[in-house]
Amino acid sequence: MRAAARASYGMGLIGATTLLLTTLAAPAAAQDDPVVLEVTATEAVTGAPGEELRVETGVVNTGSADLVGGTVDFEVPDGVTVTGLDGQEFVDGTERPDEGCALVTPQRVECHTDATLAAGADSAAAFLVTIDEGATGELGAATVTVAGDNGGEGSAQTTITSSAAPEGEVVLEAAFESGILAPPGAEVELTATTTNTGTADMVGGTVDFEVPDGVTVTGAVGQEFVDGTERPDEGCALVTPQRVECHTNSTLAAGDTAEATFLLQLPDDVYDTLLGNAVLHVAGDNGGEDTVETDISVGPPAQAWLNVSATPEVEGAPGEVLEIRTDVANVGGEDVVGANVDFEVPEGATVVGIVGQEIVDGTERPDEGCALVTPQRLECHTNATLVAYDGVSEATVEIRIDDDAPAGELGVATLQIEGDNAGSGGAETVVTVVDDGSGDDGAEDGGTESGGTESGDDDGAENGTESGGYGDDLPDTGAGSTTLALVTAGMLLLGGAAIALRSRRA
């Protein structure tokens, strides 16, 4: 660079009287001619903290008049300190001297000289600077400014950079290995990871983990929860059955990954249901934060699971025959091989038949088919199989309102199914008697359209009282409605041995 080349002259623009602005020989010029100054400096310097660097500066009077006396100012950015002027000594004091240079602040030098820089002449000086400890990255520009007492001014800059890496940043990325899809009542593991993808170590941090209602956190693999319901200084606490709050003072180095596996208990009274999201939130004490979610769903039961429904209500006048449609679907993962089916109506009504079926003679449950063991009760058995996941069946039972039945609600007709090997469920139908004045309308609305085979209304089955499962009565979540829509292809659950509980696969 020009500044470096001119430094070889060994004569400074700035310094003690003997070295100040010594110029090359040049013809004298009229003092009313202009002074034009071209100032240069090293383009950039780089060094480690504590290292002293050299910034070369130079000036050329390109005008037609001599510069007679002038000032030089040199200033460095924060993170840098001026430590010297090559070959010169700073004048004592913190103000610009009449002759020489003073270090007015650790970052600024101010100089003045009465010497002359002839037109066409140049001069050079080298400032010594040191990068402060702890300074990192590009620190800014050092600026040198030269101004003649009789005119002319120019400046130049030098970029100063510390070679030390900038202070790192913590960047956290949280993730779940997968979502959850498991049978009702299952205990499952959900693994979460946190990776520090930043350039600095995470020193201490918090973890919050929460699951939706219906799911319970039962533990964490390889660790015990701390007693209490508040976040501990070290470890994890179960603050609610659905929420875990943790803190650690350990370090997660840049590039490393931490893993935690939570134990969850799924509800046993729903199936084919999205329960909601598990949420993980991580935050470093010294920076970095992330939140991630994943689905938790209850899938089909692993066991046999009967979803049973019936027409929700029927009504009719005394003497009228009404129809109650019943549907059953095995939405579980195990075949139901054979089953008992019991159907009973309240006092004031009697069972008179099954649409399309013959009732078996006798008053005891047969090995195959249905028997009217009392006027109000059917007891049935079948050896047929209701296959896993998609086995469906339907039947329509005819009941008659007694001639002397009083107007009003008689009670409920009940349907109960118990698989020979697994699975059980039940449903109910409200039976209401209307007075004779509305008997015709009641017969049309209650006997046929409410749930009989003439309307074939699937809503009657879907909206009816339902329960199912493999032990206790369990509420339907709505997922069984898709399966029940297939009942038109199913065969009768109740009836003669030849067609009892014939099921199908979709």
Among candidate residues 473, 460, 367, the one with its CA nearest the CA of residue 420: 367
pTM: 0.48
Strands 273-284 and 100-105: unpaired
Task: Give me the number of domains the chain comprises.
Answer: 3
Q: Last residue of some domain: 274, 298, 322?
A: 298
Q: Are residues 212 and 246 in the same domain?
A: yes
Asked whether residue 138 falls in the same domain as residue 183, the answer is: no
The answer to the question of residue 288 being in a domain is yes
pLDDT of residue 33: 66
pLDDT given at position 452: 36
On whether residue 458 sits in a domain, the answer given is yes
Q: How far apart are CA 311 and CA 326, in angstroms?
A: 7
Q: 229 burial class (0-12, 13-18, 19+ CB within 10 angstroms)?
A: exposed
Residues 372, 468 share a domain: yes
Q: Is residue 232 part of a domain?
A: yes
- Of 298, 332, 358, at which residue does a domain stop? 298
Q: Which two tokens stand for residue 211?
A: 């699951």
Q: Tokens for 30?
A: 């009229």
**Residue after which a domain boundary falls, among 237, 269, 298:** 298
Average pLDDT over residues 7-15: 35
Same domain, 341 and 436: yes
pLDDT value for 402: 96
Residue 469, pLDDT above cutoff 70: no
Q: Is the pLDDT of residue 208 over 90?
A: yes
446/349 same-domain check: yes
Domain of 395, CATH number, reads 2.60.40.290
Say yes or no: 149 and 200 in one domain: no
Quick one: average pLDDT of 119-128? 95
Whether residue 176 sits in one domain with residue 154: no
pLDDT, tens digit, 9 for 90 and up, residues 349-386? 999 999 988 999 888 999 999 999 999 999 999 999 99
The residue among 226, 282, 272 whose CA lies nearest residue 483 is 272
Angle at 338 between CA 333 and CA 340, to 5 degrees: 115
Q: Give residue-wise pLDDT tens across range 35-92.
A: 999 999 999 999 999 999 999 999 999 999 999 999 999 999 999 999 999 998 999 9
**Residues 204 and 152 grouped into a single domain:** no
Residues 14, 131 contacting (CB under 8 angstroms): no
Same domain? For 294 and 367 the reply is no
* One domain for residues 30 and 107: yes
Residue 473 is assigned to a structural domain of this protein: yes
How far is Cα of residue 5 from the mean position of the Cα atoms in its chain? 62
Helix H or strand E segment including 480 = helix 480-484
Domain containing residue 381: 306-489
The DSSP code for 203 is: E
Q: Is 486 or 51 the better-scoring residue by pLDDT?
A: 51
Q: What is the pLDDT of residues 129-144, one digit of tens each?
A: 999 998 888 999 999 9
The two tokens of residue 438 are: 């509305």
Does 122 reside within a domain?
yes
Q: Is residue 500 part of a domain?
A: no
The pLDDT of residue 329 is above 50: yes
Are residues 72 and 102 located together in one domain of the fold?
Answer: yes
Any domain includes 505: no
DSSP state of 360: B
Q: State the CATH number of the domain containing residue 290.
A: 2.60.40.1530
Nearest to 409 by CA among 436, 435, 430: 430
Residue at 506 is within a domain? no
Identify the band that residue 390 occupies on the pLDDT scale cut at 50, 70 and 90. Answer: confident
Q: Any idea what the CATH number is for the domain that residue 106 is in? A: 2.60.40.690
Residues 319 and 403 in one domain: yes
pLDDT in tens, 417-438: 999 999 899 999 999 999 876 4
Is pLDDT above 80 for 445? no
